[in-house]
């Protein structure tokens, strides 16, 4: 099975682990990727669901690592590949000067990405009539695995340690939406400024489009290298049903924000996260992707993963054929437009661990 199809299938079905203790600890709940495990396959570190309902019944089993740290991957008892697990990062053993464990401030995603949710609260989350139905941002806070607001000083301290101890190469800063004006841009500015003062680390900031486009210049000046403004769903009817509060920010505001942000950050340095499997047809996702690519925006399409405790916990994940129907032509579209995940300075698109898209890109380039 080609690597891109294997990763695609693993991310759709999830995997069963013979030894859940192998590699870096997995995460349950909270801001994404949740309920996943980092696994390296054919040199690609990807996030694969391991704590979801689908994963518990997955036909894929990853065996216990051998003495060399290598595990075999089985499909219904037949060996189909090998995998290794990135180890637990060393910075997890430390605490900040004010006594907070580093792992409550930021966590390792994939192999070399430091990720944090600066504000673990959101104006939409408390209301079931407004919250995004897939969101679990409050779960890790309620469980005591994080803190509500990571200060700039804490983020700078952890980022510097993660670079020095674990070779982290870029950082993702996302946030719950604190208000209906800057929508988190202000807190991301102060956070990025503090990190860049402590260590030279490329940063992607993620938030909803602020109401004033001048925030893009401010974010860039604060040290933000790449920007993510995430559509999640691409058609109005799905947006209204799945994320009623966020849908109050219309699609055209997103497109206007993309238009304003690309000249600031550069072509390919603005991206958007699209969750396939929420109800949008592949044709709708590809049509939206074509428009975004024409604007210089990288559309990072990932399979939806249902998270326990959310309204969509029983919603099925998209199958591998559904994802292939999107990712294969999308990779071709990106190649034609000369937009590459490897050219993104920081963030989800550059990491690529939550989707097989970058593997499809590489497969297309190789062929």
The string of pLDDT tens digits covering residues 303-335 is 999 888 888 888 899 999 999 999 999 999 999
The whole-angstrom separation of Cα 319 and Cα 316 is: 9
pTM of the model: 0.94
Other Cβ atoms within 10 Å of 326 Cβ, number: 27
pLDDT confidence of residue 141 = 81
The string of pLDDT tens digits covering residues 99-115 is 999 999 999 999 999 99
How many residues in the chain? 367
Name the more confident of 44 and 138.
44
pLDDT confidence of residue 165 = 98
Q: What is the average pLDDT across 260-265?
A: 98
The string of pLDDT tens digits covering residues 190-246 is 999 999 999 999 999 999 999 999 999 999 999 999 999 999 999 999 999 999 999
pLDDT confidence of residue 33 = 63
pLDDT confidence of residue 139 = 79
pLDDT confidence of residue 32 = 58
pLDDT of 31 over the 60 cut = no
Q: How would residue 135 be classed by pLDDT, with cut points 50, 70 and 90?
A: confident
pLDDT confidence of residue 126 = 73
pLDDT confidence of residue 53 = 83
């Amino acid at each position: 099975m080609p690597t891109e199809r294997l990763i695609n299938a693993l991310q759709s079905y999830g995997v069963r682990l013979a030894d859940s203790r192998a590699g870096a600890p997995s995460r349950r709940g909270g801001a994404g990727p949740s309920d996943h495990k980092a696994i390296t396959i054919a040199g690609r570190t990807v996030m694969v669901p391991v704590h979801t309902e689908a994963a518990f019944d997955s036909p894929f089993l990853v065996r216990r690592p051998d003495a060399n740290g290598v595990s075999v991957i089985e499909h219904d008892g037949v060996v189909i590949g090998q995998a290794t697990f990135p180890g637990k990062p060393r910075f997890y053993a430390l605490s900040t000067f004010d006594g907070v464990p580093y792992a409550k401030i930021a966590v390792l995603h994939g192999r070399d990405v430091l990720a944090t949710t600066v504000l673990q609260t959101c104006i939409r989350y408390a209301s079931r009539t407004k919250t995004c139905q897939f969101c679990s941002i409050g779960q890790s806070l309620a469980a005591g695995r994080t803190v509500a607001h990571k200060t700039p000083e804490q983020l700078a301290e952890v980022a510097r340690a993660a670079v020095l101890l674990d070779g982290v190469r870029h950082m993702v800063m996302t946030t719950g939406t604190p208000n209906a004006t800057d929508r988190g841009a202000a807190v991301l500015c102060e956070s990025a400024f503090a990190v860049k003062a402590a260590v030279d680390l490329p940063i992607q900031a993620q938030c909803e489009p602020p109401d004033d486009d001048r925030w893009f210049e401010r974010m860039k000046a604060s040290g933000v290298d790449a920007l993510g403004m995430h559509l999640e769903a691409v058609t109005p009817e799905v947006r209204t049903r799945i994320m009623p509060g966020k849908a109050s920010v219309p699609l055209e505001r997103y497109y206007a924000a993309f238009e304003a942000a690309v000249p600031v950050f550069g072509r390919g340095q603005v991206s958007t996260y699209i969750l396939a499997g929420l109800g949008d047809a592949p044709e709708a996702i590809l049509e939206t992707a074509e428009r975004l690519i024409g604007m210089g925006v990288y559309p990072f399409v990932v399979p939806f993963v249902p998270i326990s405790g959310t309204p969509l916990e029983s919603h099925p994940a998209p199958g591998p054929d559904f994802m292939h129907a999107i990712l294969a032509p999308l990779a071709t579209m990106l190649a034609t437009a000369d937009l590459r995940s490897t050219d993104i300075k920081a963030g989800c698109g550059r990491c690529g661990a939550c989707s097989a898209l970058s593997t499809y890109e590489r497969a297309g380039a190789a062929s």
